[in-house]
Protein backbone atom coordinates (compact mmCIF):
# COMPACT_ATOMS: atom_id res chain seq x y z
CA UNK A 1 0.00 0.00 0.00
CA UNK A 2 1.42 3.44 -0.89
CA UNK A 3 2.13 6.08 1.74
CA UNK A 4 -0.47 8.73 2.47
CA UNK A 5 1.26 11.15 0.11
CA UNK A 6 3.08 9.18 -2.58
CA UNK A 7 5.52 11.96 -3.41
CA UNK A 8 6.35 12.99 0.12
CA UNK A 9 9.08 10.52 1.04
CA UNK A 10 11.18 13.10 2.83
CA UNK A 11 9.45 13.06 6.22
CA UNK A 12 9.82 10.84 9.23
CA UNK A 13 6.71 8.70 9.30
CA UNK A 14 4.35 9.02 12.22
CA UNK A 15 4.44 5.92 14.39
CA UNK A 16 0.95 4.87 15.63
CA UNK A 17 -2.04 6.14 17.53
CA UNK A 18 -4.06 4.41 20.26
CA UNK A 19 -7.46 5.14 21.78
CA UNK A 20 -9.83 3.48 24.25
CA UNK A 21 -13.07 4.12 26.14
CA UNK A 22 -15.03 2.44 28.92
CA UNK A 23 -18.45 3.15 30.43
CA UNK A 24 -20.07 4.69 27.34
CA UNK A 25 -22.90 3.61 25.09
CA UNK A 26 -21.78 2.45 21.62
CA UNK A 27 -18.08 2.53 22.47
CA UNK A 28 -17.07 1.74 18.88
CA UNK A 29 -18.42 5.08 17.66
CA UNK A 30 -16.31 6.94 20.20
CA UNK A 31 -13.25 4.87 19.29
CA UNK A 32 -13.74 5.56 15.57
CA UNK A 33 -13.96 9.30 16.24
CA UNK A 34 -10.85 9.18 18.42
CA UNK A 35 -8.91 7.28 15.77
CA UNK A 36 -10.03 9.77 13.14
CA UNK A 37 -8.49 12.55 15.23
CA UNK A 38 -5.29 10.49 15.48
CA UNK A 39 -5.12 9.66 11.77
CA UNK A 40 -1.99 11.79 11.36
CA UNK A 41 -0.14 9.21 13.48
CA UNK A 42 -0.83 6.37 11.04
CA UNK A 43 -2.66 6.11 7.74
CA UNK A 44 -2.04 2.56 6.53
CA UNK A 45 -4.51 0.62 8.62
CA UNK A 46 -6.76 0.68 11.66
CA UNK A 47 -8.60 -1.66 13.98
CA UNK A 48 -11.22 -1.64 16.72
CA UNK A 49 -12.06 -4.24 19.37
CA UNK A 50 -15.12 -3.99 21.64
CA UNK A 51 -16.84 -6.20 24.21
CA UNK A 52 -20.54 -6.73 24.68
CA UNK A 53 -22.22 -8.87 27.36
CA UNK A 54 -24.26 -10.79 24.76
CA UNK A 55 -21.84 -11.14 21.83
CA UNK A 56 -18.53 -11.18 23.70
CA UNK A 57 -15.44 -9.71 22.04
CA UNK A 58 -15.90 -8.19 18.59
CA UNK A 59 -13.25 -6.89 16.24
CA UNK A 60 -12.79 -5.24 12.88
CA UNK A 61 -9.42 -4.60 11.26
CA UNK A 62 -9.14 -2.79 7.97
CA UNK A 63 -6.52 -1.43 5.56
CA UNK A 64 -6.77 2.28 4.82
CA UNK A 65 -8.23 5.33 6.52
CA UNK A 66 -10.71 5.47 9.39
CA UNK A 67 -13.18 7.54 7.37
CA UNK A 68 -13.25 4.84 4.67
CA UNK A 69 -13.66 1.87 7.01
CA UNK A 70 -15.37 2.80 10.27
CA UNK A 71 -18.22 5.09 9.28
CA UNK A 72 -20.75 2.69 7.76
CA UNK A 73 -23.63 1.40 9.85
CA UNK A 74 -22.90 -2.17 8.74
CA UNK A 75 -19.37 -2.08 10.17
CA UNK A 76 -20.29 -0.37 13.41
CA UNK A 77 -23.18 -2.79 14.05
CA UNK A 78 -20.72 -5.67 14.40
CA UNK A 79 -18.89 -3.77 17.17
CA UNK A 80 -21.42 -3.45 20.04
CA UNK A 81 -20.42 -2.79 23.63
CA UNK A 82 -19.63 -0.19 26.27
CA UNK A 83 -15.87 -0.74 26.22
CA UNK A 84 -13.50 -0.62 23.25
CA UNK A 85 -9.99 0.16 22.05
CA UNK A 86 -8.54 1.06 18.69
CA UNK A 87 -5.30 1.60 16.81
CA UNK A 88 -4.14 3.41 13.67
CA UNK A 89 -0.90 2.23 12.17
CA UNK A 90 1.95 3.23 9.97
CA UNK A 91 4.43 0.39 9.61
CA UNK A 92 7.76 1.14 11.27
CA UNK A 93 11.27 0.47 10.05
CA UNK A 94 11.35 -3.19 11.05
CA UNK A 95 8.45 -4.05 8.76
CA UNK A 96 10.13 -2.61 5.67
CA UNK A 97 7.33 -0.13 5.10
CA UNK A 98 4.55 -2.65 4.36
CA UNK A 99 1.47 -3.54 6.36
CA UNK A 100 -0.43 -6.82 6.07
CA UNK A 101 -3.85 -7.33 7.61
CA UNK A 102 -2.33 -9.81 10.07
CA UNK A 103 -0.20 -6.97 11.48
CA UNK A 104 -3.13 -4.62 12.10
CA UNK A 105 -3.84 -4.01 15.78
CA UNK A 106 -5.41 -4.35 18.30
CA UNK A 107 -4.21 -7.90 18.93
CA UNK A 108 -6.48 -10.25 20.86
CA UNK A 109 -5.64 -13.18 23.13
CA UNK A 110 -7.77 -15.64 25.08
CA UNK A 111 -6.37 -16.44 28.53
CA UNK A 112 -7.54 -18.75 31.32
CA UNK A 113 -9.25 -15.85 33.07
CA UNK A 114 -10.80 -14.42 29.91
CA UNK A 115 -9.92 -12.53 26.75
CA UNK A 116 -7.88 -9.37 26.34
CA UNK A 117 -7.00 -7.04 23.48
CA UNK A 118 -3.97 -4.79 23.27
CA UNK A 119 -2.87 -1.87 21.08
CA UNK A 120 0.67 -0.49 21.21
CA UNK A 121 2.31 2.75 20.14
CA UNK A 122 6.11 2.61 20.12
CA UNK A 123 8.73 0.00 19.36
CA UNK A 124 10.19 -2.89 21.34
CA UNK A 125 13.94 -2.76 20.88
CA UNK A 126 14.54 -6.34 22.08
CA UNK A 127 11.61 -7.83 20.12
CA UNK A 128 13.80 -10.05 17.93
CA UNK A 129 15.47 -11.74 20.87
CA UNK A 130 12.14 -12.07 22.71
CA UNK A 131 10.54 -13.56 19.61
CA UNK A 132 13.31 -16.13 19.18
CA UNK A 133 13.01 -17.16 22.82
CA UNK A 134 9.21 -17.42 22.65
CA UNK A 135 9.26 -19.46 19.43
CA UNK A 136 11.82 -21.84 20.92
CA UNK A 137 9.43 -22.36 23.83
CA UNK A 138 6.53 -23.18 21.53
CA UNK A 139 4.81 -19.85 20.81
CA UNK A 140 3.26 -19.53 17.36
CA UNK A 141 3.22 -15.97 16.01
CA UNK A 142 0.45 -14.76 13.71
CA UNK A 143 2.04 -11.43 12.72
CA UNK A 144 5.37 -9.76 12.11
CA UNK A 145 4.62 -7.04 14.66
CA UNK A 146 6.82 -6.60 17.71
CA UNK A 147 3.66 -5.86 19.70
CA UNK A 148 2.54 -9.49 19.49
CA UNK A 149 5.42 -10.39 21.81
CA UNK A 150 3.46 -8.78 24.65
CA UNK A 151 0.48 -11.12 24.13
CA UNK A 152 2.74 -14.20 24.18
CA UNK A 153 4.58 -13.00 27.26
CA UNK A 154 1.22 -12.48 28.98
CA UNK A 155 0.15 -15.99 28.00
CA UNK A 156 3.24 -17.45 29.72
CA UNK A 157 2.78 -15.39 32.87
CA UNK A 158 1.40 -16.98 36.02
CA UNK A 159 -0.29 -13.76 37.15
CA UNK A 160 -3.80 -14.16 38.55
CA UNK A 161 -5.31 -11.24 36.64
CA UNK A 162 -4.74 -9.81 33.18
CA UNK A 163 -3.27 -6.55 34.56
CA UNK A 164 -0.87 -8.69 36.63
CA UNK A 165 0.14 -10.61 33.53
CA UNK A 166 0.62 -7.41 31.56
CA UNK A 167 2.87 -5.99 34.26
CA UNK A 168 5.03 -9.12 34.23
CA UNK A 169 5.21 -9.11 30.42
CA UNK A 170 6.15 -5.46 30.16
CA UNK A 171 8.98 -5.84 32.67
CA UNK A 172 10.69 -8.05 30.07
CA UNK A 173 10.23 -5.53 27.29
CA UNK A 174 12.79 -2.87 26.30
CA UNK A 175 12.16 0.23 24.22
CA UNK A 176 9.17 2.54 24.04
CA UNK A 177 5.54 1.71 24.62
CA UNK A 178 2.29 3.50 25.25
CA UNK A 179 -0.40 0.85 25.49
CA UNK A 180 -4.16 0.69 25.68
CA UNK A 181 -5.65 -2.70 26.48
CA UNK A 182 -9.01 -4.09 27.51
CA UNK A 183 -10.64 -7.05 29.18
CA UNK A 184 -14.39 -7.63 29.37
CA UNK A 185 -14.75 -4.85 31.96
CA UNK A 186 -11.40 -3.10 32.34
CA UNK A 187 -9.66 -0.46 30.24
CA UNK A 188 -5.91 -0.49 30.85
CA UNK A 189 -3.30 2.12 29.93
CA UNK A 190 0.45 1.99 30.43
CA UNK A 191 3.57 3.97 29.50
CA UNK A 192 7.15 2.77 29.53
CA UNK A 193 9.39 3.99 32.41
CA UNK A 194 10.90 6.75 30.24
CA UNK A 195 7.55 7.93 28.89
CA UNK A 196 8.91 8.18 25.35
CA UNK A 197 5.51 8.07 23.64
CA UNK A 198 2.45 10.05 24.81
CA UNK A 199 -0.72 8.80 26.52
CA UNK A 200 -3.47 10.91 28.12
CA UNK A 201 -6.54 10.30 30.29
CA UNK A 202 -9.93 11.89 29.73
CA UNK A 203 -13.42 11.86 31.30
CA UNK A 204 -16.57 11.63 29.22
CA UNK A 205 -19.82 11.67 31.18
CA UNK A 206 -19.70 8.65 33.50
CA UNK A 207 -17.07 7.01 31.30
CA UNK A 208 -13.34 7.32 30.70
CA UNK A 209 -11.03 7.58 27.72
CA UNK A 210 -7.35 6.98 26.96
CA UNK A 211 -5.69 8.48 23.89
CA UNK A 212 -2.33 9.20 22.34
CA UNK A 213 -3.14 12.93 22.20
CA UNK A 214 -5.59 15.40 23.69
CA UNK A 215 -7.01 16.26 20.23
CA UNK A 216 -8.67 12.81 20.28
CA UNK A 217 -10.38 13.70 23.56
CA UNK A 218 -11.62 16.96 22.07
CA UNK A 219 -13.39 15.25 19.18
CA UNK A 220 -15.57 13.14 21.51
CA UNK A 221 -16.22 15.99 23.95
CA UNK A 222 -14.15 14.45 26.72
CA UNK A 223 -12.50 16.49 29.46
CA UNK A 224 -8.73 16.20 29.60
CA UNK A 225 -7.83 14.95 33.08
CA UNK A 226 -4.06 14.40 32.96
CA UNK A 227 -1.24 12.61 31.21
CA UNK A 228 -0.47 9.03 32.18
CA UNK A 229 2.87 9.31 33.97
CA UNK A 230 6.02 7.58 32.72
CA UNK A 231 6.08 4.05 34.15
CA UNK A 232 2.44 4.23 35.26
CA UNK A 233 -0.30 1.67 34.63
CA UNK A 234 -3.94 2.66 35.07
CA UNK A 235 -6.76 0.12 35.35
CA UNK A 236 -10.15 1.72 34.72
CA UNK A 237 -13.65 0.35 35.24
CA UNK A 238 -17.00 2.04 34.92
CA UNK A 239 -17.78 1.20 38.57
CA UNK A 240 -14.50 1.99 40.36
CA UNK A 241 -12.96 4.60 38.08
CA UNK A 242 -9.17 4.90 37.78
CA UNK A 243 -6.74 2.78 39.80
CA UNK A 244 -3.07 3.68 39.39
CA UNK A 245 -0.02 1.40 39.70
CA UNK A 246 3.71 1.91 39.17
CA UNK A 247 5.07 -1.55 38.28
CA UNK A 248 8.48 -0.45 36.99
CA UNK A 249 11.64 0.78 38.62
CA UNK A 250 11.53 4.62 38.68
CA UNK A 251 13.53 6.31 35.92
CA UNK A 252 14.12 9.80 34.64
CA UNK A 253 11.56 10.64 31.95
CA UNK A 254 12.75 11.07 28.36
CA UNK A 255 9.72 12.08 26.29
CA UNK A 256 10.26 12.20 22.51
CA UNK A 257 11.16 15.78 21.63
CA UNK A 258 10.14 15.24 18.01
CA UNK A 259 6.52 14.98 19.16
CA UNK A 260 6.81 18.72 19.83
CA UNK A 261 8.44 19.37 16.46
CA UNK A 262 6.28 17.33 14.10
CA UNK A 263 4.39 14.20 15.14
CA UNK A 264 1.65 15.57 17.41
CA UNK A 265 -1.20 17.65 16.07
CA UNK A 266 -0.74 21.39 16.73
CA UNK A 267 -4.04 21.54 18.64
CA UNK A 268 -2.87 18.96 21.20
CA UNK A 269 -1.38 19.61 24.63
CA UNK A 270 1.92 17.96 25.60
CA UNK A 271 3.42 18.28 29.04
CA UNK A 272 0.99 21.07 29.85
CA UNK A 273 2.10 23.03 26.79
CA UNK A 274 0.23 23.84 23.58
CA UNK A 275 1.98 22.09 20.68
CA UNK A 276 1.13 25.05 18.45
CA UNK A 277 2.66 27.56 20.85
CA UNK A 278 5.75 25.40 21.24
CA UNK A 279 6.23 25.28 17.46
CA UNK A 280 5.78 29.01 17.26
CA UNK A 281 8.45 29.34 19.96
CA UNK A 282 10.73 27.12 17.88
CA UNK A 283 10.33 29.56 15.00
CA UNK A 284 11.16 32.48 17.27
CA UNK A 285 14.32 30.75 18.54
CA UNK A 286 15.28 29.93 14.97
CA UNK A 287 14.92 33.59 13.98
CA UNK A 288 17.20 34.59 16.86
CA UNK A 289 19.82 32.01 15.96
CA UNK A 290 19.72 32.30 12.18
CA UNK A 291 18.55 35.72 10.97
CA UNK A 292 18.74 36.65 7.29
CA UNK A 293 17.68 39.64 5.19
CA UNK A 294 14.63 38.66 3.17
CA UNK A 295 11.24 39.83 1.96
CA UNK A 296 8.95 36.94 2.92
CA UNK A 297 8.74 34.07 5.41
CA UNK A 298 6.91 31.13 3.87
CA UNK A 299 6.08 27.78 5.46
CA UNK A 300 6.43 24.44 3.74
CA UNK A 301 2.83 23.28 4.30
CA UNK A 302 1.51 22.15 6.60
CA UNK A 303 4.00 21.10 9.24
CA UNK A 304 6.20 24.19 8.88
CA UNK A 305 3.39 26.70 9.41
CA UNK A 306 3.53 27.43 13.18
CA UNK A 307 7.34 27.74 13.13
CA UNK A 308 7.16 30.05 10.11
CA UNK A 309 4.68 32.27 11.96
CA UNK A 310 7.05 32.40 14.94
CA UNK A 311 10.00 33.24 12.70
CA UNK A 312 8.00 36.04 11.08
CA UNK A 313 6.86 37.48 14.40
CA UNK A 314 10.39 37.45 15.83
CA UNK A 315 12.13 38.79 12.73
CA UNK A 316 9.52 41.29 11.61
CA UNK A 317 9.64 39.86 8.07
CA UNK A 318 6.13 39.43 6.62
CA UNK A 319 4.57 35.98 6.67
CA UNK A 320 3.04 34.72 3.44
CA UNK A 321 1.56 31.56 1.99
CA UNK A 322 4.07 31.27 -0.83
CA UNK A 323 3.35 27.58 -1.30
CA UNK A 324 -0.19 26.23 -1.55
CA UNK A 325 -0.97 22.61 -0.74
CA UNK A 326 -3.49 20.58 -2.72
CA UNK A 327 -5.72 19.32 0.10
CA UNK A 328 -7.17 16.61 -2.13
CA UNK A 329 -3.91 14.81 -2.87
CA UNK A 330 -4.93 11.46 -1.44
CA UNK A 331 -3.46 8.02 -1.02
CA UNK A 332 -5.38 6.55 -3.98
CA UNK A 333 -3.79 8.78 -6.61
CA UNK A 334 -2.80 6.67 -9.64
CA UNK A 335 0.41 7.42 -11.52
CA UNK A 336 -0.47 6.49 -15.11
CA UNK A 337 2.59 7.77 -16.95
CA UNK A 338 6.25 8.47 -16.40
CA UNK A 339 5.57 12.13 -17.23
CA UNK A 340 3.13 12.44 -14.32
CA UNK A 341 5.49 10.58 -11.99
CA UNK A 342 8.18 13.11 -12.85
CA UNK A 343 5.89 15.92 -11.75
CA UNK A 344 6.61 14.68 -8.25
CA UNK A 345 5.98 17.19 -5.52
CA UNK A 346 4.10 19.53 -7.88
CA UNK A 347 1.08 17.25 -7.59
CA UNK A 348 0.95 18.09 -3.89
CA UNK A 349 2.35 21.62 -3.67
CA UNK A 350 2.13 24.65 -5.93
CA UNK A 351 3.94 27.98 -5.74
CA UNK A 352 2.00 31.23 -5.45
CA UNK A 353 3.90 32.87 -8.34
CA UNK A 354 2.45 36.37 -8.01
CA UNK A 355 3.65 36.49 -4.40
CA UNK A 356 7.07 34.92 -4.90
CA UNK A 357 8.37 36.59 -8.06
CA UNK A 358 11.38 38.83 -7.41
CA UNK A 359 11.32 38.17 -3.64
CA UNK A 360 13.99 36.93 -1.25
CA UNK A 361 12.18 34.02 0.36
CA UNK A 362 12.77 32.24 3.68
CA UNK A 363 11.29 28.74 3.56
CA UNK A 364 10.59 27.24 7.00
CA UNK A 365 10.21 23.47 7.30
CA UNK A 366 10.10 21.15 10.30
CA UNK A 367 12.95 18.86 9.22
CA UNK A 368 15.19 17.62 6.44
CA UNK A 369 15.50 13.84 6.18
CA UNK A 370 16.71 12.73 2.75
CA UNK A 371 16.59 16.19 1.21
CA UNK A 372 14.77 15.06 -1.93
CA UNK A 373 11.61 17.09 -1.35
CA UNK A 374 13.58 20.15 -0.21
CA UNK A 375 15.46 20.22 -3.52
CA UNK A 376 12.23 19.99 -5.51
CA UNK A 377 10.59 22.78 -3.52
CA UNK A 378 13.64 24.99 -3.99
CA UNK A 379 13.47 24.41 -7.75
CA UNK A 380 9.78 25.32 -7.79
CA UNK A 381 10.45 28.55 -5.88
CA UNK A 382 13.25 29.55 -8.26
CA UNK A 383 11.13 28.62 -11.30
CA UNK A 384 8.49 31.01 -9.96
CA UNK A 385 11.03 33.84 -10.12
CA UNK A 386 12.29 34.11 -6.53
CA UNK A 387 15.44 36.19 -6.20
CA UNK A 388 16.85 34.15 -3.30
CA UNK A 389 15.88 31.00 -1.37
CA UNK A 390 16.88 30.55 2.27
CA UNK A 391 15.96 27.39 4.18
CA UNK A 392 15.36 27.53 7.93
CA UNK A 393 14.69 24.21 9.63
CA UNK A 394 12.72 23.99 12.88
CA UNK A 395 14.71 21.01 14.22
CA UNK A 396 18.40 20.14 14.45
CA UNK A 397 19.90 17.96 11.70
CA UNK A 398 18.35 14.47 11.74
CA UNK A 399 21.48 12.33 11.70
CA UNK A 400 20.46 9.16 13.58
CA UNK A 401 17.62 6.65 13.12
CA UNK A 402 14.85 6.24 15.67
CA UNK A 403 14.26 2.79 17.18
CA UNK A 404 11.32 3.77 19.39
CA UNK A 405 8.42 3.58 16.96
CA UNK A 406 9.25 5.95 14.11
CA UNK A 407 9.92 4.81 10.55
CA UNK A 408 13.37 6.28 9.93
CA UNK A 409 15.58 5.57 6.92
CA UNK A 410 18.85 3.76 7.45
CA UNK A 411 21.50 6.11 8.78
CA UNK A 412 23.41 6.32 5.52
CA UNK A 413 20.26 7.65 3.82
CA UNK A 414 19.89 10.54 6.26
CA UNK A 415 21.37 13.63 4.65
CA UNK A 416 22.77 14.98 7.93
CA UNK A 417 24.57 11.70 8.63
CA UNK A 418 26.84 12.11 5.63
CA UNK A 419 27.06 15.88 5.11
CA UNK A 420 27.89 18.97 7.12
CA UNK A 421 25.47 21.91 7.14
CA UNK A 422 27.57 23.66 4.49
CA UNK A 423 27.62 20.55 2.31
CA UNK A 424 23.85 20.21 2.67
CA UNK A 425 23.43 23.82 1.58
CA UNK A 426 25.45 23.13 -1.55
CA UNK A 427 23.60 19.87 -2.18
CA UNK A 428 20.20 21.57 -1.91
CA UNK A 429 21.38 24.54 -3.98
CA UNK A 430 20.00 27.26 -1.69
CA UNK A 431 21.42 30.65 -0.75
CA UNK A 432 21.58 29.67 2.91
CA UNK A 433 20.58 26.78 5.14
CA UNK A 434 20.35 26.87 8.93
CA UNK A 435 18.94 24.44 11.49
CA UNK A 436 17.86 25.35 14.99
CA UNK A 437 20.45 24.21 17.52
CA UNK A 438 19.65 21.45 20.00
CA UNK A 439 19.96 24.00 22.82
CA UNK A 440 17.60 26.32 20.95
CA UNK A 441 15.07 23.53 20.54
CA UNK A 442 15.25 22.77 24.26
CA UNK A 443 14.70 26.44 25.08
CA UNK A 444 11.66 26.48 22.81
CA UNK A 445 10.08 23.53 24.63
CA UNK A 446 10.58 25.18 28.01
CA UNK A 447 14.12 24.29 29.12
CA UNK A 448 15.44 27.81 29.69
CA UNK A 449 19.09 26.73 30.02
CA UNK A 450 18.98 24.56 26.93
CA UNK A 451 20.00 20.92 26.93
CA UNK A 452 21.64 19.47 30.03
CA UNK A 453 24.30 17.24 28.46
CA UNK A 454 24.53 15.13 31.62
CA UNK A 455 20.80 14.69 32.09
CA UNK A 456 18.77 15.66 28.99
CA UNK A 457 15.08 16.09 29.69
CA UNK A 458 13.94 14.52 26.40
CA UNK A 459 14.77 11.68 24.06
CA UNK A 460 16.61 13.44 21.24
CA UNK A 461 18.46 10.43 19.82
CA UNK A 462 17.54 11.30 16.22
CA UNK A 463 19.57 14.49 16.64
CA UNK A 464 22.23 13.57 19.20
CA UNK A 465 22.71 9.84 18.65
CA UNK A 466 22.37 9.30 22.41
CA UNK A 467 19.86 6.48 22.87
CA UNK A 468 18.24 6.34 26.33
CA UNK A 469 17.47 2.64 25.78
CA UNK A 470 20.09 0.61 23.94
CA UNK A 471 18.66 -0.64 20.61
CA UNK A 472 19.80 -4.17 21.41
CA UNK A 473 18.26 -5.91 18.37
CA UNK A 474 19.86 -3.41 15.99
CA UNK A 475 23.22 -3.56 17.74
CA UNK A 476 23.04 -7.34 17.38
CA UNK A 477 22.61 -6.79 13.62
CA UNK A 478 25.69 -4.56 13.47
CA UNK A 479 24.33 -1.05 14.08
CA UNK A 480 27.06 1.17 15.48
CA UNK A 481 25.56 3.25 18.27
CA UNK A 482 27.27 6.46 19.28
CA UNK A 483 29.88 6.07 22.01
CA UNK A 484 30.29 8.34 25.00
CA UNK A 485 33.48 9.76 23.50
CA UNK A 486 31.58 10.98 20.44
CB of 362 closer than 8 Å to CB of 292? yes
Distance separating alpha carbons of residues 283 and 364, to the nearest angstrom? 8
Furthest C-alpha separation in the chain: 72
Secondary structure class of 299 (helix, strand, coil) = strand
Alpha-carbon gap, residue 398 to 401, rounded angstroms: 8
Closest by alpha carbon to 96, among 404, 374, 410, 395? 410
Alpha helices in 329-420, H assignment, sequence order: 338-343, 353-356, 372-383, 415-418
CA angle 100, 96, 87 (to 5 degrees): 50
Which residues are within 8 A (CB) of 89 and not within 5 positions of it... i.e. 6 or more apart?
16, 42, 44, 45, 46, 47, 99, 103, 104, 105
Q: Is 402 a catalytic residue?
A: no
Q: Hey, what's the torsion of the CAs at 44, 266, 179, 248, to 10 degrees?
A: 140
409 vs 425: CA distance, rounded Å? 21
| Helix, strand, coil % in the chain, rounded to nearest 5 | 30, 25, 45
**390 preceded by a cis bond (ω within 30 of 0):** no
Closest CA to 88 of 215, 227, 273, 222: 215
Annotated active-site residue in 16, 215, 256, 402: 16
How far is it, in rounded angstroms, from Cα 295 to Cα 286?
17
Alpha carbon distance 313, 315 (integer Å): 6
∠ CA(299), CA(212), CA(86), 5° rounding? 120
Q: What residues act catalytically?
A: 16
Amino acid sequence: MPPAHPFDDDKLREECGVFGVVGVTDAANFVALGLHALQHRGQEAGGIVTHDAETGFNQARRMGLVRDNFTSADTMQILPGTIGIGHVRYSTAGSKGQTAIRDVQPFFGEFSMGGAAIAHNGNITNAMSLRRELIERGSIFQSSSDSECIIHLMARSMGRTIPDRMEEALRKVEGAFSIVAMTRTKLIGCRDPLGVRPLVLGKIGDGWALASETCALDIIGAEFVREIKPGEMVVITAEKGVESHFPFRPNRARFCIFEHVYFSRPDSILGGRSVYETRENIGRELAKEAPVDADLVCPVPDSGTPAAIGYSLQSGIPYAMGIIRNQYMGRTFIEPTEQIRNMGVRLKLNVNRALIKGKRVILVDDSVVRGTTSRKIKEMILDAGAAEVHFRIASPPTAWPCFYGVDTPQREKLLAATMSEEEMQTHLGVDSLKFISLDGLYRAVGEAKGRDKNAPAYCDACFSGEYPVAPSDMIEQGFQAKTAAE
